[in-house]
């Protein structure tokens, strides 16, 4: 099998500034951990971001679950991202026609394109979803991931759907920098694979979520970045939990490099 490239080598191959920055942060901080801050107040999200900041390459948000989203929140989060050096990823999962997602990305209460370096979209609507998002995001140098596979039980993102999603990404490389997936989908080293549904202890959550370990995600499924929510923020000590996941995922990456 062919040599596994380091994050640094892959960053050097990337054209998109967000992909380059992410790979560079991963290399520098020795972190392929993204923490999902699925909390419902600005104070909780900001506190978590500050606690886990040193251990992560990326913070994932769900702005629309917050009760008090504001421009002050965005400003504070951006300051934390600059201080701790992490990418902000709004997990919006756009899934409508181009014209609608354009508004959802640029307008409304959240103005996502103004603050999220990275967002994501389902391939379901066809390439119009990307054409719409691009018209807003390209000028701002934003990037997008396509959801090619999901972690949840019974999901329909499989087989030909997944293959068509990869093809769509390849046709929009100026904006799409990778995938949300459960496995490696392409050998192209400039695409980043991010895998949610990762936990050190549990196997599921009773609502369809299915977990694998950081080792399985990175070594067996070849994820570049693991995404961990409850495994970190439900822990009584989120900073230590983040450190545990950081170490587990980075050791798994180093194992891949060495083998």
Residues interacting with ligand S5P, by CB under 6 A? 36, 38, 62, 91, 150-152, 180, 196-197, 209, 227-231
- Residue 174 falls in the annotated catalytic set: no
Q: Cα 256 to the chain's mean position, in Å?
A: 20
Measured from the CB atom, is 41 or 135 closer to ligand S5P? 41
CB of 91 to ligand S5P, least distance (A): 5
Least distance (Å) between residue 190 CB and ligand S5P = 21
Residue with smaller CB distance to ligand S5P, 230 or 256? 230
Task: Dihedral sign for Cα 235, 236, 240, 242, please.
Answer: positive
Q: Which of 12, 50, 96, 235 is catalytic?
A: 96
* Structure tokens that stand for 132 in this block: 């719409």
- Would you call 93 a catalytic residue per the annotation? yes
Active-site choice (3, 68, 82, 93) = 93
H/E stretch holding 214? helix 214-215
CA distances from 131 to 32, 95, 128, 138 (A): 29, 12, 5, 10
Rounded-to-integer distance, Cα 160 and Cα 199, Å: 28
Catalytic option among 29, 30, 91, 224: 91
Please state, as a whole number, how many other Cβ atoms lie within 10 Å of the Cβ of residue 11. 21
Which CB atom, from 72 or from 237, has the smaller least distance to ligand S5P? 237
Q: Catalytic annotation on 91?
A: yes
Nearest approach in angstroms of CB 251 to ligand S5P is 20
Helix axes 71-84, 42-52, angle to 10 degrees: 0
- Positions annotated as catalytic residues are 91, 93, 96
């Amino acid at each position: 099998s062919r040599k596994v490239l380091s994050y640094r080598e892959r960053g050097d191959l990337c054209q998109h500034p967000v992909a380059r920055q992410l790979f560079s942060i991963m290399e520098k901080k020795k972190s392929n951990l993204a923490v999902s801050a699925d909390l419902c107040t600005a104070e909780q999200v900001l506190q978590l971001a500050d606690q886990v900041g040193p251990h992560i390459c990326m913070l994932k948000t769900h702005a629309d679950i917050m009760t008090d989203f504001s421009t002050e929140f965005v400003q504070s989060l951006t300051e934390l991202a600059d201080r701790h050096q992490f990418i902000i990823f709004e997990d919006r999962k756009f899934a409508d026609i181009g014209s609608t997602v354009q508004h959802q990305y640029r307008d409304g209460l959240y103005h996502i394109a103004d603050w999220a370096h990275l967002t994501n979209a389902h391939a379901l609507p066809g390439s119009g979803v990307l054409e719409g998002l691009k018209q807003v995001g390209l000028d701002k140098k934003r990037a997008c991931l396509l959801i090619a596979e999901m972690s949840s039980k019974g999901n329909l993102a499989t087989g030909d759907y997944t293959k068509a999603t990869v093809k769509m990404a390849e046709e929009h490389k100026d904006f799409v920098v990778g995938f949300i997936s459960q496995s490696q989908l392409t050998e192209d080293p400039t695409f980043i694979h991010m895998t949610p549904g990762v936990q050190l202890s549990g196997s599921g959550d009773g609502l369809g979520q299915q977990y694998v370990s950081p080792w399985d995600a990175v070594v067996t499924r070849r994820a570049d970045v693991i995404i961990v929510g409850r495994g970190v923020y439900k822990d009584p000590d989120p900073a230590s939990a983040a450190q545990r996941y950081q170490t587990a995922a980075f050791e798994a990456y180093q194992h891949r490099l060495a083998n």
